[in-house]
Chains A and B, each alone.
Chain A
Amino acid sequence: MSGALLAATLRDPAQATGYDAPTWNALIAAARAEQLIGTLAHRLDGQGISEAAQRILTDARASTDQGRILALWEAEACRRALVTLNVPVVLLKGTAYVAADMSAGQGRMIGDLDILVPRDRIETVEHALIEAGWEWVKPDPYDDAYYRQWMHELPPLIHRERDRMIDVHHTILPLTAQITPDADAMIRDSVTLANGLRVLNPQDMICHAVAHLLADGDLAGGMRNLWDIHCMLSGFGTQGLEERARLHGLHRHVRRAARLANALYGTAIPQDWRTRDSVDALFKKRLLARDGWGQVRPKWVEHGFFIRSHWLRMPPAMLARHLWTKWRKGHRPN
Chain B
Amino acid sequence: MRHVFAVRIGPVGFRVGSDWRAPVAALEHLYRDYPKPDDDIPDFSVRLFAARFWRRFVRPSVMIGGDYYLPDAAPLPLRLGLLAAEMGMNLQMALAQRRYLLLHASAVERDGRALVMTGMSGAGKSTLAALLMTRGWRLMGDEFALVDPATGLVHGFPRLISLKNQAIGVMEAACPDGRFGPLQPDTPKGDIRHLVPHARAIQAMRDPAKPALILFPGFGHAADERPVLPGEAFVRLTQASTNFVAMGETGFDVLTSLVKNTPARAIDYPDTETALAMVERLWSEIV
Contact = CB atoms under 8 A, between A and B. Distances in A.
A77 to B, nearest CB: 16
A294 B45 contact: yes
B25 interface: no
Interface stretch (B33-41, B118-126, B218-226): B33-41
A50 B38 CA distance: 10
Contacts, number: 54
A161 B212 CA distance: 34
A33 B42 CA distance: 16
Interface in B19-69: 37-43, 45, 47, 49, 65, 67-68
B157 to A, nearest CB: 16
B199 interface: no
B47 to A, nearest CB: 6
B81 interface: no
Nearest to A162: B245
* Residue of B1, B39, B248 ringed by the most chain A CB atoms within 10 A: B39
A25 B15 contact: yes
Contact of A293 (B38, B47, B248): B47
B179 interface: no
Interface stretch (A53-61, A142-150, A252-260, A303-311): A53-61
A298 to B, nearest CB: 13
Contact of B37 (A32, A52, A62): A52
Contact of A52 (B38, B65, B250): B38
Given A63-B246, A66-B246, A69-B248, A56 B41 contact: yes
B211 interface: no
B141 interface: no
A24 interface: yes
Interface string A288-304: 00000111000000000
B99 interface: yes
A293 B1 contact: yes
A53 B247 contact: no
B88 interface: no
A25 B39 contact: no
Contacts of B250: 62
A53 B45 contact: no
A21 interface: yes
A172 interface: no
Contact of A29 (B13, B67, B248): B67
Contacts of B217: none
A131 interface: no
B98 interface: yes
Interface in A9-56: 21, 24-25, 28-29, 32-33, 50-53, 55-56
Nearest to A291: B1
B17 interface: yes
Contact of A25 (B42, B49, B65): B42
A21 B65 CA distance: 21
A53 B41 contact: yes
A25 B47 contact: no
Interface string B142-172: 0000000000000000000000000000000
A293 B3 CA distance: 12
B83 to A, nearest CB: 21
A154 B40 CA distance: 47
* Residue of A51, A69, A293, A294 ringed by the most chain B CB atoms within 10 A: A293
A63 B15 CA distance: 22
Given A51-B38, A66-B247, A293 B17 contact: yes
B47 A21 contact: no
A234 to B, nearest CB: 29
B9 to A, nearest CB: 14
A126 B96 CA distance: 33
Given A52-B13, A66-B247, A293-B1, A25 B41 contact: yes
Nearest to A24: B41
Contacts of B42: 25
Contacts of A53: 39, 41
A63 B17 CA distance: 26
A254 B43 CA distance: 38
Nearest to B68: A32
Contacts of A25: 15, 40-42, 45
Contacts of B65: 295
A50 B39 contact: yes
Nearest to B97: A59
Nearest to A69: B248
A310 B4 CA distance: 37
Contacts of B99: 55, 59
Nearest to A66: B248
25 contacts: A21-B39, A25-B40, A25-B45, A29-B45, A29-B67, A32-B67, A32-B68, A33-B67, A50-B39, A50-B41, A51-B38, A52-B13, A52-B37, A52-B38, A52-B39, A52-B40, A53-B39, A55-B99, A56-B41, A62-B98, A63-B98, A69-B248, A293-B17, A295-B49, A295-B65
Closest 9 CB pairs of A and B: A21-B40, A52-B39, A52-B41, A52-B38, A66-B248, A32-B67, A59-B98, A50-B39, A24-B41
Interface of B: 1, 13, 15, 17, 37-43, 45, 47, 49, 65, 67-68, 98-99, 246-248, 250
Given A25-B42, A32-B67, A293-B45, 13 more contacts: A21-B41, A50-B39, A52-B40, A52-B41, A53-B39, A59-B98, A59-B99, A62-B250, A63-B246, A66-B246, A293-B1, A293-B17, A295-B47
